């Protein structure tokens, strides 16, 4: 057990993420709009014990009604454009939209198809851009933490 905890501490140090401030938090709703699932693997790793997004006050939630950030992976397929708008409309203000991966940003390998509407920009206003194919867990965590507003007391 202690060996595992020491290993986790070392991995977290090597990830070089910012220290936990305890003063901010964000709820994240993830939607796969048409990705190849590699972006989801990296997002899952970001929430796993090695990187542990929750220690920064970042939590992945099941409903857009509870979310501050709509985190979207993949290019937007024609079938997912409408559900994305519905999810965005269900979110309380203030709300942010994050495009995770090159496909969501419109420069990925899955963009050229008649079933693809386009990048996330074509459907929703994008506030956070996380490039990469797929982005690393460090890049995902750093981009979301940079957008996390200070908590008002």
Residues that bind ligand SF4 (CB under 6 A): 35-36, 38-39, 73-74, 101-103, 108-110, 133-134
User: Per the structure block, which two tokens stand in for 42?
Assistant: 């990296």
State the pairing for strand pair 76-77/116-118. antiparallel
Nearer to ligand SF4, 118 or 149 (CB): 118
Residue 53 beta carbon to ligand SF4: minimum distance, rounded to whole angstroms? 18
Residue 110 beta carbon to ligand SF4: minimum distance, rounded to whole angstroms? 5
User: Per the structure block, which two tokens stand in for 4?
Assistant: 């595992």
Nearer to ligand SF4, 48 or 109 (CB): 109
For residue 115, count CB atoms less than 10 angstroms from its CB and return exposed for 0-12, middle for 13-18, buried for 19 or more: exposed
Nearer to ligand SF4, 50 or 77 (CB): 77
Residue 121 beta carbon to ligand SF4: minimum distance, rounded to whole angstroms? 15
Q: Which of 135, 128, 68 is nearest to 99 (CA)?
A: 128
């Amino acid at each position: 057990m202690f060996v595992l905890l020491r290993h986790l501490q070392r991995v977290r140090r090597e990830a070089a993420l910012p220290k936990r401030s305890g003063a901010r938090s964000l709820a994240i709703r993830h939607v796969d709009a048409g990705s190849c699932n590699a972006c989801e693997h990296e997002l899952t790793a970001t929430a796993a014990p090695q990187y542990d997004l929750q220690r920064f006050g970042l939590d992945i939630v099941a409903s857009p009604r509870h979310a501050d950030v709509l985190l979207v992976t993949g290019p937007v397929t024609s079938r997912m454009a409408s559900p994305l708008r519905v999810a965005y409309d269900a979110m309380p203000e203030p709300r942010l939209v994050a495009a995770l991966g090159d496909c969501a940003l419109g420069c990925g390998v899955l963009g050229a198809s008649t079933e693809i509407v386009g990048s996330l920009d074509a459907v929703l206003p994008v506030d956070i851009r996380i490039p990469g194919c797929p982005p690393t867990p460090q890049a995902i965590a750093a981009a979301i933490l940079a957008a996390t507003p200070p908590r008002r007391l």
